[in-house]
Every structure is written in structure tokens, then in C-alpha cells.
Amino acid sequence: MEFKLVTIDAKTPLERGAQHGEAAKDWILRGLEGYRKTFCDDFHQTWKSVQERAMAYVPFLEKDFADLLEEVRGIGVGAGVCFEDMMVLNTRYELLKFPVQECTSFAILPEATENGHAYLGMNWDNVPWMRDSSLLLHVFEPNGTRYLCMTEAGQLIRHGCNSFGVAIGTNNLLSTADSNGLGVPTNFMRRRVLTSTTLEEAVESVRRSPRSVSCNLMIGSPKGACDCEVNPDRRVELHPINGILTHANHFAAARDICRNKGANFRDVRLYSLLERKRGHIDVPFIQECLKDHFKADSTSHEAICKHTPLPGESIATNHLKASVTIASQIYDLTAKKAWICMGAPCEGTYKEYDV
């Protein structure tokens, strides 16, 4: 199995969005069905109230993100979906904050690799139905920038790499500073990172973006990496140790505001695995590290590679807690290539792509 790949090549944001929406219509409708069930059935909210909360971000974004709002509008036009629903898809992180342990990310600098290339990637974990509403976008912008990204259909972006070698991976974070106020939605922030030309430009775009909820952004380039533990209270940036940087779902630095008190050792586990071949790390070895099952059978379900629910749980009946690996991703920031596996990497095959 592999993800659907949608190529987007248009002059205006509205046209780019329309191409996305038309090609991914069925995937977008599946995603909206999943979120309707989550918001309405599981959290007992009306869909109208969810739309209203999502639309509250529009005036906040009109000054600095008008182009991306226009692209979101275009996605809806292409898919035949109203703008309100498209805004729900693109603010779902802020509106919902899934109560699952999402993602293990990493960056590896040239000093730690066999071929002197830089790498960034992650295992993206979330609720099982999300795999069937996700796809890959290969975007060609008028200024010559290209990017390959993994995303939920209808969203601007989740993770990916561009033709300058700037890449991003993300992790869910919960902090005591999180609120229902307005800030730059994560999807909009990630998109700005992925259209940056340098690591410095990408990180600065994050610094300038006010937040209402926390998230973690792992950002890399051929020459460096920076992990931004973004939260409404303060700015925290982490950097590689011996050429390796890893992160999971707890605050590694701002521990006093962390609301996730679970084990969350996946970042330490991944670092220790990569460290074993520091100076000789290559793509096949990274793939093996991302297949790691240590603690897969524990009650914390903390394995790097996730493909089963907790003991005694059913994915079908407990979809909010049954976190599984949706996609495993490795980006070569130097060669501008990607290896992406649909589902748990221990069960699938990595496919190679050119950025």
C-alpha cells in the first residue's frame, strides 16, 4: 500500500487549492466524516458550534496569512465543500487536541551520518481512520519552490521537505498555558516553515507566530536543526547533541508547564538507537530504528512503531485512544529525497520520492 500522490502546479493560491480539492475530494470527505463523529458523537458538540469556533480564526489570519486562507477557500471550491468545513480541517489541532500520544520525530546532522547528508523525519501516530484520509502533496509554486509533504486531505500541510532542504516534523504537546484563545493555527505555521528558504527564516517565522495552544516543531536544513517547543507562555528551542536531535510528546525543556505526565520515553529511546551508529547512520538504519517495538505491549503503549491498541482495547470502539502509526517518513535534506511508508513501518514498505 502507498499514499495517493497529488501534484499541484498553479499560479495563484486559489488555483492551487482548487487542484488539491478536486484531486482529493473523496479523501477530504472521509476526513470530515471522521471529525464529525469525533466532535459530535465523542465530544457532544454541534457541528455548527465547531464551524463557528473555526471561523473565529479567519479575522485573526487575514493580515499575515491571507494567501493561505485563499488556498483553503480554493480547496473547498475544488472539493465542493463549504469554507467553514475547510477551516475546521485546518484548525482541528487547536479545536480538538486529540487525547492520543502522537509522533516521534528526529533530525540528524551531517556529522552523524555515513554520507555526510542531513536527515529529518518521524513516525506520525494518530487515530486509525486518519490513514485513509491522508495523502502526499507535491507542490510547485510560481517562484520555483517545490515541496513534498504529508498531510490530511484538505489541510495545508502536516510534515515535509522543500527544494531548499528545509523540512519539518511535528509532535503534539499539552501545557498548562493552553487556552481557547486565538493564535496562529499549527497548519498555517507549518506551511510558512515549509516555504522558507533557510533554517533561520523558518525558525523566525515560528518565533513571530503567537500561539494559543502548544505544539512541537522539529525543523531542519542541510546545515542545522532546531526543535521549537512552541507554547503560549514562552519560547523554547532545542538543538542537536552530537549531531542528533529527537522529540516525542512531552516538554523536554519547559517541564514545569507540561501537562503530559506519562512515560514518554520515545525520544530518549530513539536517540539511544541512533547514537549506536553515530557517524555511520544511513537510511536503512533509520528505517530499522523507526520499526522499534520496545514497550509495544506495555500499558503505556509507548513504542516508536505503533500498530496495536492497548491490551483489551478495540480500535473500532476506542478510536480516540488507539494511537497507531499512520505514516513513517524520512527526508534527506541534502539530496532532496524522501522515503515514506504507509502505516506501521514494520508492516509496510518505504517508497522513495524526489522532492
pLDDT of 95 above 90? yes
pLDDT of 274 strictly over 60: yes
Residue 300 pLDDT class (50, 70, 90 cuts): low
All structural domains of the chain? 102-354 (3.60.60.10)
Please name the residues in contact with 83: beta carbons below 8 A apart, sequence gap of 6 or more. 72, 73, 76
CA max distance for the chain = 54
Cell of 245: 536531535
State yes or no: pLDDT of 311 exceeds 80: no
**Measured on CA atoms in the order 303, 132, 81, 196, is the torsion positive or negative?**
positive
Give me the mean pLDDT over the 262-285 stretch.
92
Q: What DSSP assignment string belongs to 255-277?
A: GGGB---S---HHHHHHHHHHTT
Helix (H) or strand (E) holding 86: helix 83-96
What stretches of 109-228 show up as alpha helix (H) in DSSP? 186-194, 199-207
Q: Is the pTM of this model over 0.75?
A: yes
3-class SS of residue 10:
coil
Q: At what angle do helices 25-36 and 13-23 cross, to 10 degrees?
A: 80
